[in-house]
Amino acid sequence: MPSSSLYVKHRRPKDTALKFLINAAAAVCVVTLLGIIGYILFNGIPYITWKFISTPYSETNDEWKGILPMIINTMYIVVITLLISAPVGISSAIYLTQYAKQGRLVKAIRFTTEILSGIPSIIFGLFGYTVFCILFRLQTSILAGCLTMAICILPTVIRTTEESLLAVPGSYKEGAMALGAGKLRVVLGIVLPCAMPGVLTAVVLAMGRIVGESAALLFTSGLSYNMPKGFWEQIFASGRTLTLHLYQTAREANSPDAMNIAYATAAVLLVLVFLLNRLAGLLSRTFRKG
């Protein structure tokens, strides 16, 4: 006889409603994500062919509707930006975690890194345009875009590297020092190798940020879609990345064919970002295990 039981299960409508809201919110997040990814991949994947990836682009020539130049430009920007920014960012993280004593300078560095990560990319774009393109006379060029992006991703690199350097057990350092190694030797020979997966995560996260960036590159690296001729020529010339190509083709599209190019570009971008995301996840997992 359940009714005579001491334990009465109360119905609490408020509780149920709140629980429902919590689950609904999580569902909204997942459904939105799946909706966006599904929509773009569904419409874009059919148009990703080898020809699409390997031919140059031209607005007039119907035979040339590929994204090869954009892929090359994106790669240039990713590589050069990382070459500039990664050494600076990793060195900053080393200084902050291994050398710095708490003081005004360290506070200033931390504060400015935080400020830097909050500045919107359009401001970086304006700044890069006035300083690198005009004052340093680089015009709109890939190099100007790289220099702008290098500042843009600095906080990402510093913060993630810092975290992984801090996670290296102090006993490793002490052990090495007890064996008579100098500080530099300890940092470069013990701490940095131990934190390597974390450092690589930082680099991959930064790559994702660069691949996805558009507003900061709009005025600095420009919108030219010419096929790159040589490395040195290209980095001093204007070139659009995949994101800017998507932006430009989507805005100018006036026929279903043109829209398909935009769909396919968006799908390529999503796949790239997805892969980078997985890579970062894998790296940080090996780091936690190690």
CB of 120 to other proteins, least distance (A): 2
* 137 interacts with other proteins by CB under 8 A: yes
Q: Which residues contact 139 (CB under 8 A, 6 or more apart)?
A: 133, 236, 238
* 42 interacts with other proteins by CB under 8 A: no
In whole angstroms, what is the distance from residue 74 CA to residue 241 CA? 5
CB of 1 to other proteins, least distance (A): 26
Q: Which stretch binds other proteins (CB under 8 A): 50-58, 168-176, 179-187, 193-201?
A: 179-187
* 139 interacts with other proteins by CB under 8 A: no
Site for other proteins in 85-114 (CB under 8 A): 87-88, 91-92, 94-96, 98-100, 105, 108-109, 111-114
* Contact with other proteins (CB under 8 A) among 71, 190, 212, 271: 212
> Of the two residues 79 and 115, which places its CB atom closer to other proteins in the complex?
115
* 214 interacts with other proteins by CB under 8 A: yes
Alpha helices in the chain (DSSP H): 13-44, 50-54, 68-94, 104-118, 121-128, 142-166, 170-178, 183-186, 192-194, 196-212, 215-218, 231-235, 242-252, 256-289
CB 206 within 8 A of CB 156: yes
* Size of site (CB under 8 A) for other proteins: 88
In whole angstroms, what is the distance from residue 46 CA to residue 62 CA? 18
Q: Which stretch binds other proteins (CB under 8 A): 27-35, 45-53, 64-72, 226-234?
A: 27-35
Site for other proteins in 116-135 (CB under 8 A): 116, 118-127, 129-131, 134-135
Q: What string of DSSP letters covers 193-213? A: HHTHHHHHHHHHHHHHHHHH-
**What three-state secondary structure class fits 63?**
coil
> Of the two residues 160 and 213, which places its CB atom closer to other proteins in the complex?
213
CB of 114 to other proteins, least distance (A): 6
